[in-house]
């Protein structure tokens, strides 16, 4: 159930314009929930329904004057049917033991995260990594945050992890990192498909994917799921 909290009654602050991390030659601004406000699941459910996200303990939303490229998106799982390519991805999932556990810091998760960032995002602000950065980016003290783990059956090694939050009306994908040598298993997509399965099992209506940025190759994949709901002009609109 969506929280009755009205976000307009809360206190926020906005950053000065800064270089956009997604679009070249663009300036971006971000609004953050005031750190004086104690966040909880009820409040975050209200805010995620208004296009907000969390990074660690911080709740934010892009607020750019001349650009609306960042669109918050979610999958309505009750209406979701897997495409042929997604069914093929699910079939290959037999290579892994898939389980859920409370999110916490440990060496195996951090090492896989570090390897993934080093291989895929050396040009981003998360490189180089550190254990403190891992904790501050992915973990939370006031939400139910879990690891969706993919363990290679043959080797026993952690092959992928999807960090996700549980809110009152869905599951929110925070970040997925994986062994890039297993690219043929489409582990990023597989993680989302398994979140859809889990949301259905828990009778939660949505999987929140964060921001879809069509013009950014690293974020454009989120627009390929159908049906998909987009938060546009302060309301959710479904595209199919």
The predicted-structure confidence for 76-119, as pLDDT tens digits, reads as follows: 999 899 999 999 999 999 999 999 999 999 999 999 999 999 99
Identify whether residues 168 and 227 lie together within a single domain.
yes
**Domain coverage including residue 19:** 7-69
Residue 205: pLDDT band (50, 70, 90) is very high
Average pLDDT over residues 170-183: 97
What pLDDT, on a 0 to 100 scale, did the predictor assign at position 6? 67
Minimum mean pLDDT range among 8-12, 15-19, 61-65, 70-74:
8-12
Identify whether residues 213 and 159 lie together within a single domain.
yes
Identify whether residues 99 and 197 lie together within a single domain.
yes
Letter string b/e over residues 207-237, b meaning 16 or more CB atoms within 10 A of that residue's CB: bbbbbbbeebeebeebbebeebbbbeeeeee
pTM (predicted TM-score) = 0.93
235 within a domain of the structure (yes/no): yes
Identify whether residues 11 and 89 lie together within a single domain.
no
Identify whether residues 51 and 150 lie together within a single domain.
no
CA–CA gap between residue 127 and residue 120 (Å, rounded):
10
Residue 39: pLDDT band (50, 70, 90) is very high
Last residue of a domain, one of 69, 89, 112: 69
CATH number for the domain harbouring residue 94: 3.40.630
Please name which of 54, 220, 218, 26 lies closest in space to residue 124, comparing C-alpha atoms.
218
Q: For the residues of 65-131, what is the DSSP string, one character each?
A: SS----EEEEEEGGG----HHHHHHHHGGGGEEEEEEE----HHHHHHHHHHHHHH-TTSTTPSP-H
What pLDDT, on a 0 to 100 scale, did the predictor assign at position 1? 44
CA–CA gap between residue 137 and residue 134 (Å, rounded):
5
33 within a domain of the structure (yes/no): yes
Q: Is the pLDDT of residue 162 over 80?
A: yes
Domains: count for the chain = 2
Identify whether residues 54 and 154 lie together within a single domain.
no
Following CA atoms 135, 43, 75, 14 in sequence, which dihedral angle do they give, to the nearest 10 degrees?
Answer: -70
Identify whether residues 183 and 222 lie together within a single domain.
yes
Residue 4: pLDDT band (50, 70, 90) is low
111 within a domain of the structure (yes/no): no
% of the chain residues with pLDDT over 70 = 96
Identify whether residues 91 and 205 lie together within a single domain.
yes
Identify whether residues 86 and 47 lie together within a single domain.
no
What pLDDT, on a 0 to 100 scale, did the predictor assign at position 50? 95
129 within a domain of the structure (yes/no): no
Identify whether residues 57 and 158 lie together within a single domain.
no
177 within a domain of the structure (yes/no): yes
Identify whether residues 62 and 91 lie together within a single domain.
no
């Amino acid at each position: 159930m969506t929280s009755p909290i009205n976000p307009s009654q809360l206190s926020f602050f906005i950053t000065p314009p800064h270089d956009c991390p997604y679009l070249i030659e663009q300036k971006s601004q971000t609004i953050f929930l005031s750190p004086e406000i104690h966040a909880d699941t009820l409040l975050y459910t209200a805010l995620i329904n208004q296009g907000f996200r969390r990074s660690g303990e911080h709740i934010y939303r892009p607020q750019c004057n001349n650009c609306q490229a960042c669109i918050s998106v979610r999958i309505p799982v009750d209406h979701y049917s897997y495409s042929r390519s997604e069914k093929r991805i699910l079939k290959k999932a037999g290579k892994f033991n898939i389980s859920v556990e409370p999110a916490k810091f440990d060496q195996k998760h951090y090492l896989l995260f570090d390897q993934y960032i080093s291989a895929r995002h050396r040009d981003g602000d998360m490189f180089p990594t550190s254990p403190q950065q891992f904790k501050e980016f992915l973990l939370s003290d006031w939400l139910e945050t879990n690891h969706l783990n993919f363990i290679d059956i043959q080797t026993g090694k952690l092959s992928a992890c999807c960090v996700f939050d549980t809110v009152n009306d869905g599951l929110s994908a925070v970040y997925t990192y994986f062994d890039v040598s297993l690219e043929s298993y489409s582990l990023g997509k597989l993680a989302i498909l398994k979140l859809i399965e889990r949301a259905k099992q828990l009778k939660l209506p949505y999987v929140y994917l964060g921001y879809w940025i069509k013009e950014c190759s690293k974020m454009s994949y989120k627009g390929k799921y159908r049906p998909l709901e987009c938060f546009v002009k302060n309301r959710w609109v479904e595209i199919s």
